[in-house]
Structure formats: structure tokens, C-alpha cells
Amino acid sequence: MDYTEFSGKTIDDAVIEACSKFMISRDKLEYIVEDEGNSGFLGIGSKPAVIKARIKSGADNTAKDFLDEVFGAMGMEVKTEIKYDETEKSLDIELTGDNMGSLIGKRGQTLDALQYLVNLVVNKNTEEKIHVRIDTEDYRSRRRQTLENLAKNMASKVKRTHRQVVLEPMNPYERRVIHSTLQNDKFVTTHSEGEEPYRKVVIVPKKTEGYGDHGDRRGSYGRNNYRNDSNGD
């Protein structure tokens, strides 16, 4: 955020004027004294005190400045609504505007990339990690519902065919959704295989009565890249 110039009879008066303009408390104001002013002699030759002030850069302001710059370079008019939770150290950003589909991208890849970049910028000089979440048009909720339905449908297929199903590559968050959805299923279990960015979830039947040992292709449990990571990695 750029500095704005304020003046008053004294520096304190100029600071009060800046706080009033920005509608913030004094502890959230950052300012530079340009001229301390002069009361003159009997009011003659007096000069006002001048400061340049702006709101202190917090996680929310840092994120907004960065996003404004990105959208400006893209030639897009996007409104950003930012909520920062100091206790949870979380930053929720909601984007609104025209053509939000281009910001979402295929399977949310553009939105995820934007979220990753904001994460880097916001956490560059912080001691405690701030978790950033960017959403638009309720995409995150809709995508989660799609993944949960996919998990249940594929689990039903595994139960019906007694054969494992390998899903398409997903990012860590999407894999966690699949794992979480099926973690309490009595008949299937999940794990991830492969290396990023091609790591994918594998749904296999549990070796329970009625399935025998033929539900999973032999040897998959002994692969080097197998890990029972139902926690979502």
C-alpha cells in the first residue's frame, strides 16, 4: 500500500487524521515524519506538521497487494475479500469478478497455483506459518463433493469386482479427501503411489472374508513406493 500525506498543527494531530481516514487504531498505522512543523511566533510564520502514512503491512495487506498486482498484470478486475484469523493463523481469500473460470483452471490448477504463490509471499518473513486458502464461486466445496462422490463410486466398483482401482494423479489436498472419505470403509483401504506431481490414490479391497486374496494384484503390497498413508500424503 502506498503512503498518503497528512498534515496537522502537530505530528500527533496528523497521526490522528491518518487514523481517522484509514479507520484504524494508532498501533496499526505506519508513518514517516516529513516535516515536524512550526508554531511560529504568536502564530505568525507557523507551518503544519506533515507525515506520510499507511496501514501497517499485515498478512491480509500483503496478500491483497500481491493479488492486485497479479490481476493488474492479467488485465482482470477482481475483487478480493480477505479474512485473517490471528488465533488460527489462517488467511481466507474470496475472489469475485467476471470470468472466474479462467482463475480456477482445469481441476482447479490455476487457483491452486495462485494459492501457492500467495502462501510463499505471505510466509516469507513470518515466524509462524500462516495457512492460506483461496476460493471463488464456492469451487473448493464443489470440488470436494465431486471427489467424495468419486471415492464412493470407485469403492463400490472395487467391492463389486474385487480388483483395485488406480485414480488419476491428484494434488495432496485432493488425495486427502479420497483417503478421508474411505478411511472407515469396512471393505476397502487406500494408499498413494508414485512421485509428485503424478502421485495417485489406489483403492484396494481389504483381505476380508468373502474376498480371499485375489482382490488386489499380487505384489502391490511389496512395492517400494507403497505407503499406507490414509492421512492423505
Ranges 36-45, 56-65, 112-121: which has the least confidence: 36-45
What residue segments make up the domains of the chain, in order of their start? Answer: 4-55, 59-137, 147-222
pLDDT in tens, 144-201: 999 999 999 999 999 999 999 999 999 999 999 999 999 999 999 999 999 988 999 9
Does the 147-222 domain belong in CATH 3.30.1370.50?
A: yes
Q: Predicted confidence band at 96 (pLDDT cuts at 50, 70, 90)?
A: very high
The CATH architecture annotation of domain 59-137 reads 2-Layer Sandwich (3.30)
Mean pLDDT on 205-217: 55
Q: CA 134, CA 139: separation in Å to the nearest integer?
A: 10
